Structure 1
């Protein structure tokens, strides 16, 4: 077991010990490396070195951002440099002075670009940081950014734009965490929430209610479908498949013909069933998702034109992917046309805001609940994670065969006005 200051350790630290130790003290490893645990529970790697004849303590970062293996490697490199007459402390100061927050953002985004779900997600990351964080932190060295600096960014929008502020805080934390691991700063990350900003800012749940996307009322869905049926164009067709499948707009707009498998009865002249398999790379949860297509969805797909120049099912006028705004525009026009004809439009029953495409998933979810479909099956249909990590490990089935009938029943309910 590792021992505190003043004692020679019987054996080196372990990753498990570093993760679980809570008692304040200094726990030694080797090459002058020790883990300092403060009374607050925060932890920091420190190395004692003799540099040019002077005993010095050098900070090496904090776990878990800097794991034991990385701390040991840095300690070994520093000891070697000092033994050769070098100055690890001066080298560290030189590195940290070169990295501003703006530079760190650019470097982080370059390294993580492939991990974003899509181009839009990456742009949202950059836009949030450029709008709110960089004006205040951009020219500061990452090594000098404090909790007070982060608060100065978050406080003005914490109450009024809570969801944006939450995302911003997380993004600042990730950039600074990257800067720490890359050797440009040390110490506790000033943007972490638990035990840090959580003590200085009100909980988001206490100052802002979760805002759901406005949905069409279940009782209005067939009337809404009737209005949609009068619309032409690829965006309208995409919106029709969106409601029939419960999919997200991005999943519909990126749909390709090779993702669809049609099954044809030998006696029939057209497909009798079909499966749409969305690859993990296009899913929000990064898991492959199978969608059973109703007979109405199959009919819709089979009447669509195809372009030789693209494999996209729903293509823009010039052959590229439809924009998110094109589908939203169809829904907005349906709402506006209903008002012009003397109706009230299609408003969310709770918020009284005009319904949007993503809200149609909520309409489906409410219908399924009212019809008594089990929660897990409905959540799987919406490609939501269900239960804990342990529960998901045991829940291997995607209930595909049972979801077939549910989606067929849903399509029949939506199209009831056309019967």
Structure 2
């Protein structure tokens, strides 16, 4: 009947733990999992992973950290690795002692800190974001230095190139470096004051962030490049490209477009009402939809049971990078053809989706549209609380005309009142 099938029975621990149990157990005691691994719960409620193991003929116990910093899956992996080392004559206990005695570099401490602490972040995205600035800005300067040798001057050298031009990023970076060095001190890898501390230290050497913070302008599209950019965008396929077109036509934010649902739309009256819960300023915002914007919506497919207008492949919201990626690919295509691409005319950096709002704002100023009407279109708060209370109208009909003219400009055509359709929504 063919080759016999050999079945291997893998012995499973009789009292294997679950992640839920590890999270909720409070009764003091020892709770065994397998591979010599058990969870020790103290009377004060603290928890620690411990592994009983025989190393070179001698039974001993190894501490493997504590949940939730070290979850059950990681503890099992460590226990298995230790068991494997011991079986081939290694000594994981001696390795750990040597590691504690050996001076660590800043890069090694960043890795150890991330392993111990970043489990506290709610998503992998937030963990990557936290590490990004350290990897780009701190590691090239401090990475190979032993943490015990890092001085205030070293941290200052790392921060100064970014402190005035990228103040918010540099301020966050300083806090991250301080946290890593605090961990290194508590873990016994360095002694003395923290060289990244602000009070009584860097505060005396660097200007206050509040005194130098500038508004960070997103690179915008030059008015002279608008028509060519729009034509190139129209040739691109995909949901993200259509979302970028819709964003440009409405002068809205990426998150507002990506989170848009069909129940926010009144296609018959050409109106998109963004609820206050999705607005940056916490106020409901009405957006008049031009014929071009409505045409995009009418051509979009719908996924049953999914609310989003511009949805990702599985029906969820588009990621925050999806629309940006379209503009980045458009820029790359221009550069490959030997052209400079779509650069901000002032700072000479490639335009980004949020910068299209600045492009729109510049266009309204040059065309002589009222300042307050343009600001309302961008959902910017106007005037004092009293002035806003009296300013009941959001100028919807007048803004509809303005947005129609903006759509005409994007297409490279002469403006005409014939392109404005009255929907009769003026309440």
By how many angstroms is 1:327 displaced? 1.0
- Structure 2 residue 246 is matched with structure 1 residue 250: no
Q: Which runs of 5+ in 2 are unaligned?
A: 1-116, 136-153, 177-196, 416-427
The structure showing larger relative contact order (alpha-carbon pairs under 8 Å, at least 6 residues apart) is: 1
Q: Identify if the C-alpha distance between structure 1 residues 121 and 286 changes in structure 2 by more than 3 Å, giving closer, same or farther.
A: farther
Q: Which runs of 5+ in 1 are unaligned?
A: 1-104, 114-118, 132-151, 172-190, 264-272
Q: In structure 2, what is the Cα distance between the partners aligned to 1:393 and 1:169?
A: 42
By how many angstroms is 1:170 displaced? 11
Deviations 1:173-198 (A, max 9, x none): xxxxxxxxxxxxxxxxxx999xxx99
State the aligned residue count.
272
Asked if the contact 2:251/2:377 (under 8 Å) is kept, the reply is: yes
Asked if the contact 2:134/2:173 (under 8 Å) is kept, the reply is: no
Deviations 1:92-135 (A, max 9, x none): xxxxxxxxxxxxx99xx99xx9xxxxx9998899779999xxxx
By how many angstroms is 1:156 displaced? 6.2
Q: In structure 1, what is the Cα distance between the partners aligned to 2:203 and 2:385?
A: 25
* 1:217 aligned partner: 222
Q: Identify if the C-alpha distance between structure 1 residues 210 and 402 changes in structure 2 by more than 3 Å, giving closer, same or farther.
A: same
* 2:298 aligned partner: 302
Asked if the contact 1:222/1:414 (under 8 Å) is kept, the reply is: yes
- Structure 2 residue 300 is matched with structure 1 residue 283: no
* 2:390 aligned partner: 394
Q: In structure 2, what is the Cα distance between the partners aligned to 1:204 and 1:308?
A: 49
Select 2:246's aligned residue among 241, 244, 256: 241
* TM-score, length of structure 1 as denominator length: 0.54
Deviations 1:191-215 (A, max 9, x none): 999xxx9998524476464331111
* 1:376 aligned partner: 372
Q: In structure 1, what is the Cα distance between the partners aligned to 2:213 and 2:294?
A: 42
- Structure 2 residue 401 is matched with structure 1 residue 405: yes
Q: In structure 2, what is the Cα distance between the partners aligned to 1:121 and 1:275?
A: 34
Q: In structure 2, what is the Cα distance between the partners aligned to 1:218 and 1:307?
A: 36
- SS of equivalent to 1:324: coil
Q: In structure 2, what is the Cα distance between the partners aligned to 1:245 and 1:124?
A: 32
- SS of equivalent to 2:277: helix
* TM-score, length of structure 2 as denominator length: 0.53
Asked if the contact 1:386/1:392 (under 8 Å) is kept, the reply is: yes
By how many angstroms is 1:309 displaced? 3.1
CA RMSD of aligned residues (A): 4.3
By how many angstroms is 1:339 displaced? 2.4
Which entry has the higher C-alpha Rg, 1 or 2?
2
Asked if the contact 1:292/1:400 (under 8 Å) is kept, the reply is: yes
